[in-house]
Every structure is written in structure tokens, then in C-alpha cells.
Amino acid sequence: MPKSNLSAIAISSAPVAECDTSIDPDAAQNHGKPGGTVFAGENELLAIRKWLEHDHSMSTSWLVVRALVDESLKKVSRSGDLRRFTDAELRDAAGVDEFEWRNVRTWWMKRRDDARTFLRSENQDGVLLDMERFPGGGRGITASTGIVVRKPEGALADQREDEEEDAGASGPVRYAPRNADSIRLSGPWRRWLFSAGEIEVGSTRHALLRWRVMTPAIFILLLSVVFFVDLVLRNRPIETQNLAYLLGIVVIGKFWWQEWRPIYHARLDRITALPEEWLTDDELPTQLERKRTRSGEVLRLVRYQAACPICGADVHLGEGVPSDPRRVLGRCIDAPREHVFTFDPVSHDGRHVRNERPGVS
Ligand SMILES: [Zn+2]
């Protein structure tokens, strides 16, 4: 058993060449695989791939981990240093714009036990796969990440304790705007009005938006006036027919309000979550923000996103329903009712709603 190798893993800054435990000079110790197996965790990698599909998520960290597993599988017969990928390589393979390794690590640490249980159910209990970060250094060497095979027990206990403590810490959330250019609204009117991503308040487009909002409102108002005038002029008891007419007005009014309330709320609250009716089916949660810019005030589409400090998945902004519908709150896509965070539209940071009151942790 090459103890020196295992202890080298526990220190993540260990020399690169010593970090891969998949090649064991002693065939009997080669994680149950024939001696000389380059990477002893292929079956476990395939099982991890299955686990990822089983727990499918569109979270950035999930996409990065899947890319890491896929890329490792492609190079499974190569030596360890060829199975390490820089952040740029992982970003391209995962098809994400950017990611922070710290968030991916939190994501993995929180789910590692679950992955291990799955591996056990797939009869792949012999070894533990883990992600290893190989730090960069001088001379343009960038940090890279690889999957290594580890024995589940022994030298890793200490490291694990540290990592879990780290991963469990729930710090502040930092939101950042993401991919606003790619937002696609539903319906030809909305898509055209917001085709530039924003509407300048006072512009022709803004006037058209107001016209589009106000026309149905005036129509609903006229219907109501007609209803009451008719009631007064005829001076007869209210009939079922009248009630049906009134109900019709209420329903149309409700639809109108549902559709256009974001315009009103963005004006009062500065930012509001767009209802699903505004978005195409595959669109991620999006917000409408009223913002003062150098050229004037604009109504613009934004998509603020953060990484969940608890589990590393993506946090998106949505309505604060049911308790506080007008509020915009950040919800983790993997635990939307538990990992809930505030959103400060000025500083763009937030904290867990349970820790909201100052001095309470
Ligand atoms: Zn979370």
C-alpha cells in the first residue's frame, strides 16, 4: 500500500505526479483491478455518470461535474496528468459561460455521500472517486481538476472533515447578472417591445408599451361603465344574466392584471420577477428592472444568478410567494423551498432568509 501517495493527496498542493492513485505498483492493491490498469475507476466513473443522469439538474455545477466525468471517460486509458482539465476546458465541455471552482466543490461535497450510496447500489463499492484540484503556479501554469481514485478510509478522514466544514458554511450570496442578451420573451408583442433587451422610458417604444397596457384597461373600464349605467337606467332587479356579464368583466380584468403587473411592480419596486407567461418554455427565471442609466431611465430584462452557499447549485431570483409576493427572493434550483436567500437590489448580495435579522445566525 503506497502510504506516501495517499498522504500526498490529503495535501492538495502536492506535486502533480504523485497525486494519481490509480496506478498501484502492487497489483493486489490496485483497487481490485488487474495490475497495470491505468485508471482503476472506469466502472465507477460510468456509475457516477448514471448517478448524474438520475439526479439530472441544469445547475452550472452539475454541468461542470458531468463534463469532468465525460472528459475523464474519453481519456480513461491515458495517464493521470492527461486526465486533468483546466477551467477553460471544462467550461467549453460543459457549455457554460463561466463557473467558479469553489462552487463546484461545494456542490460535489454536499452530494458526495449520496453519490457513494448510489455507487454501492450499483455494486461499485470498492473505491471512492473524488475530484482533485491541482493548483496552478508560476510560468503560466493554470489550475486544473481531475478525478482520482481513493480508498474510502484512512488518510482522507482529516481532509474530509476540513472540506465538509468548509462546504457547510453558509456565507453571503453574491448575485451577478448573466446572459441578458439571450433572454427570449413569449408572445410577438413582448418580444418585439423588448427586442433590444431594454426600453427607454419616454421613448416611442415605451409609449407603445403603455398603449398596449392601457388599451385593454380602457376597454375593461368601458364595459364596467356600460354595465352600471344599464343597471341604473333599467332600474330592475339584478338577473343571472347581469351577474354573468359582471363575472366576465372580472375574469378579463384578472387576466389583464396578471399579464401586465410586472410593468407596474417594476416601477414601484425597481425589480420584479417576470411571471412564466412572459417567458418561453425553456427560459430560465428572468426579472424586469427599472434602472437609471446615463442616458436616462430604462426598463430592462435581467437575469441575476448566484451560487448557493449551502449546496453549490444555481440560485435564481423569483417571487417571494406565498409569504411576501412583492418581494424578490433567490431560490436554489435544487432546494427552492429550503435554500432561500434575500436579494438586495443595490448591493446585489443576500443572505439566508432564516438569518435575515441582523445579529441572528
Ligand atoms: Zn442549495
CA of 136 to the centre of ligand 1 (A): 29
- Mean pLDDT score, 276-284: 90
pLDDT per position as a tens digit, 202-242: 999 999 999 989 999 999 999 999 988 888 888 878 888 88
How remote is the CA of residue 127 from the centroid of ligand 1, in Å? 27
12 pLDDT band, cuts 50/70/90, is very low
Phi, psi dihedrals of residue 173, rounded to the nearest 5°: -100, 135
Q: What one-letter code names the amino acid at 211?
A: W
Average pLDDT over residues 136-155: 76
Centroid of ligand 1 to alpha carbon of 313 (angstroms): 5
The alpha carbon of 331 and the centre of ligand 1 are apart by a number of angstroms equal to 8
Q: What one-letter code names the amino acid at 13?
A: S
Q: How far is the CA of 107 from the centre of ligand 1 (A)?
A: 8
327 Cα–ligand 1 center, Å: 20
Q: For residue 171, how far is its CA from the centre of ligand 1 (angstroms)?
A: 12
Cell numbers 473524488: residue: 130
Q: How far is the CA of 286 from the centre of ligand 1 (A)?
A: 19
Distance 317 CA to ligand 1 centre (A): 13
In angstroms, how far apart are the furthest CA atoms of the chain? 101
Measured in Å, residue 23 CA sits from the centre of ligand 1 at 36
Model confidence, pTM = 0.72
CB 27 within 8 A of CB 35: yes
Find the radius of gyration of the CA atoms of the chain.
28
pLDDT of residue 34: 63
Tell me 276's DSSP state. G
| Å from CA of 301 to ligand 1 middle | 25
* Burial label, 4 (beta-carbon count in 10 A; 0-12, 13-18, 19+): exposed
Mean pLDDT, the chain, rounded, equals 82
The answer to whether the peptide bond before residue 216 is cis (omega within 30 degrees of 0) is: no
